[in-house]
Amino acid sequence: MKFDAIVLGGGIVGTSVALQLQRRGVKVALVDRKAPGNETSLGNAGLIQREGVYPYAFPRDFASLARYAGNRATDARYHPMAIPKLAPFLFKYWHHSRADRHAQIAKAYSTLIEHSVSEHRALIEAAGAQNLLRKGGWIKAFRTNRAFENAVVEASRWADEYGVEYDILQDDTLRRAEPSISSVLRAAVRYSASDSVSDPAGLVDAYAKLFEQLGGTILLGDAFTLQPGWRVNTQSGMAEAEYVVLAMGPWSGDLTSKLGYSLPLEVKRGYHMHYAAQPGATLNQPVLDAEVGYMITPMLRGIRLTTGVELGFRDSPKTPVQLEAVEPIARDVFPLGERLDAEPWLGRRPCTPDMMPVIGPAPHHKNLWFAFGHAHHGLTLGPITGRVIAEAITGEAATVDLRPFRADRF
């Protein structure tokens, strides 16, 4: 089976790359071991974060470091056995998180973020998936005045630097926005220019269906059979193409290592669980309980509770202690009913130490392209990543300068 391009990885990034290439007349095969949207892209909070110009940094103040070191924080936990392996990565992450370095990273990162909502909306309209889109932003809510005031200062700075839109919700305005939320959340910043979706996996599926309608081919196969030339084994036979795009999320490092690259890619693990809402209770938009570190989001399946970060080996068994810790807190904030899932879902966010994705050509292989390492913003950046990869491969004028995201920066 001969194609112009093979995209390895059927998450939001890989599916978006395949779709953006196919829309430009490139004959594309999308290859994964599962149907699109059934790994990391299945389990996020559904946010398309136009405000996310500053990627999530490693804490540098002593008080935060001491709190996390005790391994009892609700927003971040770690597996002690994994820390020796993760230590070099975490040190580099800490290094890049210094305020001046973080600000420089934001200048590059914002060039992607500014297109996140518009690119999603264009694909959502083309895919006929408007029923999954929720406009109007998301709420970052606080329990104490001090934390709220710090968040307002931060939002104001982001607005001045990058045009990030936000609203202030206090007392009656917060109650009107979310009447079922407890008054323990006293005030909030709403990032009004962001969007969210009610079924992230369903959105990937809608993009995949549009890809097929445009003539694209979805194949089940093993990306690790990739051979230069470029060929990969699938259940339907050998697929060959001139170009290959590696967009395998947290598994990308395994294949790049096989190809001779040493890229600093680790994972942040996270969990979710769905709940019924108690009779009469409504949740209108995603709400982050910022000082505890979990989010509740209205999804088609129910209210999705997503946890913070768990640092550990990618393939270690589930240890959903964060979910168990925050569930009773979340029940005090919103009237959650019964659990709807048989067990917590575990996902793995692929991360680089400078908080930016790897997007661009492979340094040592012709016609091999990388698109991974999007950390918390995989859903947010999927379509714009797909667009810039497609533009580069087809020779179109570039929407975004890819030089800051190239693999050879490491």
Question: How far from 102 is each of 98, 353, 371, CA to CA, in Å?
Answer: 6, 11, 22
The tally of CA atoms less than 13 A away on the side-chain side of residue 29 is 26
Q: Of 352, 371, 257, which Cα lies nearest the Cα of 15? A: 371
**185 close to 292: Cβ distance less than 8 angstroms:** no
Question: How far from 48 is each of 118, 355, 379, CA to CA, in Å?
Answer: 10, 17, 7
Question: How far from 363 is each of 97, 327, 358, 368, CA to CA, in Å?
Answer: 26, 45, 12, 9
Domains of the chain: 2-44+201-264+353-409 (3.50.50.60)
Q: Of 140, 141, 132, which Cα lies nearest the Cα of 196? A: 132
Q: For the chain, how far is it from start to end, CA to CA, in angstroms? A: 35
Question: How far from 76 is each of 64, 70, 90, 301, 318, CA to CA, in Å?
Answer: 11, 10, 14, 26, 15
**149 close to 170: Cβ distance less than 8 angstroms:** no
Residue 362 CA to chain centroid, in angstroms? 22
Q: Of 69, 42, 81, which Cα lies nearest the Cα of 313? A: 81
Other Cβ atoms closer than 10 A to 183? 9
Give CA–CA dist 208/14, Å, rounded.
10
What's the CA angle centered on 386, arms 384 and 388, to 5 degrees?
70
Q: Of 63, 18, 1, 10, which Cα lies nearest the Cα of 244? A: 18
| Per-run averaged pLDDT (10 residues), the chain, 410 residues | 97 98 98 93 94 96 93 96 97 98 98 98 98 97 97 97 97 95 97 98 98 98 96 97 98 97 97 97 98 98 98 97 97 98 97 98 97 97 98 97 97
Reported pTM = 0.97
Question: How far from 27 is each of 54, 197, 206, CA to CA, in Å?
Answer: 36, 29, 19
**15 close to 218: Cβ distance less than 8 angstroms:** no
Q: Which residue has the tokens 């970052």?
A: 140
DSSP, residue by residue, 178-200: -TTS-TTS-EEEEETT-EEES-H
Give CA–CA dist 261/232, Å, rounded.
19
DSSP, residue by residue, 328-359: HHHHHHS-EEEE-SSS-EEEEEEE-TTS--EE
Give CA–CA dist 293/284, Å, rounded.
19
pLDDT of residue 171: 86
For residue 323, what are its two tokens? Answer: 């979910």
Please tell me what DSSP assigns to residue 130: G
Beta bridge partners of 298: 303
List of residues 6+ apart from 383 with CB closer than 8 A = 16, 20, 115, 116, 119, 120, 122, 123
Question: How far from 39 is each of 12, 42, 43, 95, 354, CA to CA, in Å?
Answer: 10, 6, 8, 30, 24
